[in-house]
Amino acid sequence: MQALLSRAELFRERIAILSEGSRYTYSQLIDQSAMVAAHLLEGQRDLHESRIAFLIDPSFAYTAVQWGIWQAGGIAVPLCVLHPLDSIRYVLQDAEIGQVVVSQAHLAFLSPVLDELGIRVLEYESLDATIQIADAAPIEENRKAMILYTSGTTSSPKGVVTTHGTIRFQIKSLVDVWGWSEDDHILNILPLHHVHGIINVMSCALWSGACCEFLPKFDVQQVWDVFRTERLSLFMAVPTIYYKLIQYWQSQPVAVQQAMSASCQSFRLMVSGSAALPVPVLEQWEQISGQRLLERYGMTEVGMALSNPYQAERRPGHVGQPLPGVQIRLADSFDQELASGEQGEIQIKGPNVFLEYWNKPDATQSSFTADGWFRSGDIAVVSDGYYQILGRSSIDIIKSGGYKVSALEIESVLLSHPDVLQAGVLGVPDDEWGELIVAALVSRTKQPDLKSIERLVSEKLPSYKKPRRYLMVDDLPKNTIGKVTKHKLKSLFILDQ
C-alpha cells in the first residue's frame, strides 16, 4: 500500500521489525519490498491487480513480500501456514493465482500443487537481492489490494476483497483511537492470513513508526518471557490466548507469579478480540496483570467497527461503540432499523467495508441491503451507546479461538468417512476457546473407528477447525422436514458433561 511505504520513509532509521533474533530497520524493509516487487514485475511497470499468493511464516520476510506485492500493483493473497494442502489448493484456484512467493521452509510442501496448477514459483531466499524496482506505476487507493479467505456461512470459503483505501482507513482509525505512536512496541503472535494480525497489529505498528516483534508460532512460555523483558507497550490476542496465559501463570511458584505480574506494568494497552471475551477471563487477567482488556468487534469484511474506549470506561461483556467514520445500526429480519434496547442484526456502512467477495457476485449482493448496509450476521443489543454481542443469526457459525468456523464445512469432512452416517457440528460455551467445537456422530457400524475419523479431519482441516469432543448418538434430533435441530443437539452435550 502506497500510504504505508510513504509513512515508512519518515522512520527509515528506526527498528521496524524484530524477527528470528534479528532487528530490521524501516530502510531495510523499504529496500527488501522493492526487491520483491522487481522480481514480480519482471520489467513491467504494473501487475494490474494480478493475484499474488505467498506462504511465509510471520516474519520480516512476510512483511517485505506483502509490501512488495502492493508496490508492484498486485493483490496480496496470504496463505495460512497451518492449512492442509487441499485448503491451499482451493484458494490458489479460486483466486486464479498467477505467481506464488514461498519460503524455503514451505517449498517442498507446496510444490506438488504448484506443479499441478502450473503456477510460477519464486523462492524467497533465492531472490537476487541486487535487483531493485526501477519505475513502478503509482497505485490509486481505489485499486484492489488484498484477498483474505473466510469460511462465512457456507462450506466454500469466500475471498474478501479490500482496496488500498479501505485498508488505509482501517489502519488509520485504530491508530487514532488506540493512541499508537512511534515509541510503541508490540508482540505479534496472531495468524497473518487474518485481519487481526495483519491490520490491527502489524500494519498499525508500521504506520506509526513503531516496532512489531514476531513469534513464528504461539508458545505460552515464550510469550511470558517476552513480557518479562518489559520492552512491550501493547499486546493483542484472542480470548483463548489470555486463557492460556492465565493457566501458565497459575502453574508457577508465587515468587515467579509476582515477577510475571510486575512485568505487565510496562504495557499501556492490551486488547482482546476475534471472539467474545468471557467476563471471568477479563476479571482474572485484570487481577494477574493489572490490565483491563479492551474488547472490540470486527470481522474480515469490515476490519474493526466497534471498540471500547481507550481512555474511558471499558465495559465488561460489551464490544464498545462505533469507531469514528463507521456507521452501525441494528436491524430486524426485514432490514428495518430497530429502536434502542431491541435486539437485532449488526449492519455496517463506511469506508472500512470490503469491496466484494472474489468472483461471487450473488454472495456479495446478498450480503448487503438495498441501501448499502453490510449484513454482519451477528445479533446484538445496545445500551448507553455500548454494544453487546448476543450471538449469530446462524448457529452454523462457530467462533472458536478467535476464528469464525463453518460447522457445515466440518460436517462435510466428517460425512466423507465411511463409518459416519450423520454428523452434527456446533459450538458450546467454553472459557478457553469462547466456543468449543463439538461433533455428534451417528455411525454406520457398531464399533466406529474414531481414531481414523480424527486422522481424516486432521488431513482435511487446520487444527483450529477440529472438533474437541465427539459424542456418539443413535440419531440426531430433527424437525419435521428432516433438518437437524442444533439447539436440541446442544442440550445433549450439556447433559453429557
Distance CA 399, CA 397 (A): 7
Q: For cell 454472495, what's the residue? A: 363
Q: 362 lies in a domain?
A: no
Secondary-structure breakdown of the chain: helix, strand, coil percentages, each rounded to the nearest 5: 35, 25, 35
Query: For 434-449, how does the pLDDT look when each residue is reduced to its tens digit (9 = 90+)?
Result: 899 999 999 988 888 9
What region does 28 belong to: left with phi over 0, alpha with psi -120 to 50, or beta?
A: alpha
Q: 209 lies in a domain?
A: no
Q: Is the pLDDT of residue 134 over 70?
A: no
Q: For the chain, what is the domain count? A: 1
Q: 118 lies in a domain?
A: no
Long-range CB contacts (< 8 A, 24+ apart) of 277-286? 277/239, 277/242, 277/317, 277/434, 278/239, 278/431, 278/434, 279/316, 279/317, 280/431, 281/239, 281/242, 281/243, 281/246, 281/431, 282/316, 283/316, 284/246, 285/242, 285/245, 285/246
Report pTM.
0.85
Residue 310 corresponds to which cell in the numbers above?
481507550
Q: Is the pLDDT of residue 256 over 70?
A: yes
Count of other CB atoms within 10 angstroms of residue 493: 17
Lowest mean pLDDT among 51-55, 74-78, 173-177, 271-275: 271-275
How does the average pLDDT of the chain come out, rounded?
92
For 479, the domain range is: 397-496
Give me the phi and psi of 16, to 5 degrees please. -90, -40
- CATH code at position 409: 3.30.300.30
Distance CA 468, CA 438 (A): 6
Q: Is the pLDDT of residue 135 over 90?
A: no
Distance CA 28, CA 23 (A): 10
Q: How many CA atoms lie within 13 A of 137 on its CB side?
A: 14
Q: 403 lies in a domain?
A: yes
Count of other CB atoms within 10 angstroms of residue 73: 25
pLDDT for residue 337 = 95
Q: 430 lies in a domain?
A: yes
Q: Is the pLDDT of residue 276 over 80?
A: no
Q: 392 lies in a domain?
A: no
Q: 439 lies in a domain?
A: yes
Cα-based distances in Å from 32 to 5, 60, 229, 437, 452: 12, 9, 29, 41, 45
Which residues are paired to 471 by β-bridges? 440
Q: 483 lies in a domain?
A: yes
Which letter does DSSP use for residue 198 in this model? I
Q: Which amino acid, 80?
A: C
